Amino acid sequence: MFDHDILVIGAGLAGMRAAYTASQSGADVAIVSKVYPVRSHSNAAQGGINAALTDRGDDWEDHAYDTIKGSDYLGDQDAIEIMCREAGSEVISMEHMGVIFNRDEEGKLGVRSFGGQRQARTFFVADFTGQALLHVLHEQILKIGARVYEEWFVLSLIVEDGECHGAVVMEIRSGEVHAIRAKAVILATGGLGRVFEPSTNALICTGDGMALAYENGAPLMDMEMVQYHPTTLKANGALLSEAARGEGAYLLNSEGDRFMQEYAPNMLELASRDVVSRSEQTEINEGRGIDGCVLLDVRHIGETLINEKLSQIRQLGIDFANVDMVHEPVPIRPGMHYQMGGIKTDVNGLTNIMGLYAAGETACVSVHGGNRLGANSLLDTLVFGRRAGDHASNVVRSRQHSDAITDQYAERERNRLQEMLNRNGGGELFGKIRLDLGEAMNTHLAVYRDQQGMETALEELKGLKTRYDRVIVHDKGKTFNTNLIFTLELGFMLDCAEAIILGALERKESRGAHTRTDMPDRDDSNWLKHILIAKDENGQPDVTYQDVTITQWEPQVRSY
């Protein structure tokens, strides 16, 4: 058994930012991550990070308004105000740590345009901003020598009487299971993209944190709000950054028209993501697509600029679509990308379980509401990662380790895993169940939804859970048993899928990313509220609501 003041689960931007801050405040912090920190999915954020730098004439309230409008008024305005006000100092802190942001002619930070915003306020490192931030934050973690349990997997949280006291984890390399006692646990486990197939998300994005919190009675909020990114490759779902459109790319249909002129005459290709994805899907559904796709055209930007600012996505096009974007447009389509919902937290990352925090994509503060703006996700991870680390480090000063926590928690998990490994015959490998889950979700909970489809998905989910109860693990060994890990992750994903479908069935309107063909209008009088799903004492999902916090921006008709 190990003891730490604060245990951070996940080593992406939110987790490392939380750990860095808490460690600077003097707390004994450890990070558990199922992959080496630099493998985390924050890497994949390409385009940039938003911040209104007031010293160059931008206004954080403008940024807040764009974010609120982008969220289709479902974001909590107090949280959004905090994020936008703290954005500037967060970007500057990262620059001081060593991030090599692109500059303007004067050597100051340069900006590019991004979707859904009237100002260019996206700071960037070529088209690999997430990687550049992640690696620099990892450098800082190395510098301060924080303890990182690398390639350790979280099996369960230790929660007693509504208080979190740590987690049970497995060292993947040895297969050993340990309890880690902590006075506070910060979940920073990222998204759940693999619940959908295809998805832009990495294979590690399996909703671990959301499922762990859900299992222990913490509510998940607005889980129906799943973002489909407008520009993903058909072959493998890989993401082509919004940076392409930020730098001026066109979207064309099979007739060669810039169809966004129809749907968003002011912002065109740079309207909010939900708007662009819906427009693309409509074009495809109405027969103006090409093989299920529309075209992204950057040719007019020119080879020099493409190489300087969009080199990675040019390479992705060559590798996975056999298209060199310098010479031809690349076929793209909307693809599952981001979960706006997540574990409900306050603005300090605290969940309704004492000692349990969440930050980043796994959390829902909520700053993204019904639709996240491009380049607000990196900002969310850093601002709320820092705030969670800060708050937790204050709280643990007056908290003690619970003496009631013993190795029995680990023993319980050892037995559970052994039972899983002992199963032979009668069941199947995890792979096909995962695929069937992903395809069901992508069929019924995609850009356009309706009652019947969502009910079908819920029915299919029941069948998948039955199959999962008999799943078998081929690998019976202890060392680096990835077969066992994937099987456990699939369990997390099934829980997340349940919350998504239930949330979607509950919301009887169209708002943000949740667009129902059978209820196409936004209904502020009944549904300007969050949907919370939590397990009750019998383990059954229970739905409650919470009003959206509005500070100064009343909901309006949303057009771009």
Binding site for another protein (CB under 8 A): 35-36, 38-41, 43-44, 53, 55, 92, 95-98, 100-110, 125-126, 128, 131-132, 135-136, 139-140, 142-143, 173, 202-204, 235-236, 238-239, 308, 312, 315-316, 319-320, 322, 429-432, 434-435, 473-475, 477-483, 486
Q: How many CB atoms lie within 10 A of CB 516?
A: 19
Q: How many CB atoms lie within 10 A of CB 150?
A: 16
Give yes or no for a contact between 70 and 372, defined as CB atoms under 8 angstroms apart. Answer: yes
Beta-bridge partners for 531 = 545
- Is the CB of 36 or the CB of 545 nearer to another protein? 36
Catalytic residue among 4, 41, 181, 245: 245
Shortest distance, position 55 Cβ to another protein, whole Å? 6
In angstroms, the CA 233 to CA 330 distance is: 8
| Distance set, CA 435 to CA 162, 422, 430 (Å) | 35, 24, 9
- Amino acid letter, residue 487: T
- Is the CB of 103 or the CB of 508 nearer to another protein? 103
- Amino acid letter, residue 381: T
**DSSP calls for 494-555:** HHHHHHHHHHHHH--S-BTTBEETTB-S--HHHHSEEEEEEE-TTS-EEEEEEEPP-SS---
In angstroms, the CA 313 to CA 354 distance is: 43
Q: Which two tokens stand for residue 103?
A: 């500059």
Give yes or no for a contact between 59 and 351, defined as CB atoms under 8 angstroms apart. Answer: no
Straight-line distance from the first to the last Cα atom of the chain, in angstroms, rounded to the nearest whole number: 55
Angle at 372 between CA 313 and CA 434, to 5 degrees: 70
In a 13 Å sphere around the CA of 125, the CA atoms on its Cβ side amount to 20
299 by Cβ neighbours in 10 Å (0-12 / 13-18 / 19+) ranks as middle
In angstroms, the CA 485 to CA 145 distance is: 28
Reduce the secondary structure of 59-104 to three states and give it as a string: CHHHHHHHHHHHCCCCCCHHHHHHHHHHHHHHHHHHHHHCCCCCEC
Beta-bridge partners for 8 = 31, 186
Give yes or no for a contact between 360 and 207, defined as CB atoms under 8 angstroms apart. Answer: no
- Amino acid letter, residue 22: A
Q: How many CB atoms lie within 10 A of CB 154?
A: 25
Is the four-CA dihedral 468, 472, 476, 482 of positive or negative sign? negative
Give yes or no for a contact between 296 and 249, defined as CB atoms under 8 angstroms apart. Answer: yes
Shortest distance, position 310 Cβ to another protein, whole Å? 12
Catalytic residue among 229, 273, 368, 511: 229
- Is the CB of 131 or the CB of 366 nearer to another protein? 131
524 by Cβ neighbours in 10 Å (0-12 / 13-18 / 19+) ranks as middle
Q: How would you label 164-193 residue by residue, b for 16+ Cβ within 10 Å and e otherwise?
A: bbbbbbbbbeeeebbbbbbbbbbbbbbbbb
Beta-bridge partners for 519 = 516
- Is the CB of 387 or the CB of 434 nearer to another protein? 434
In angstroms, the CA 487 to CA 416 distance is: 13
For residue 54, give every residue at least 6 positions away whose Cβ sits within 8 Å of its Cβ, in sequence order, or none.
60, 88
Q: Decide if 229 is catalytic.
A: yes
Give catalytic residue positions: 229, 245
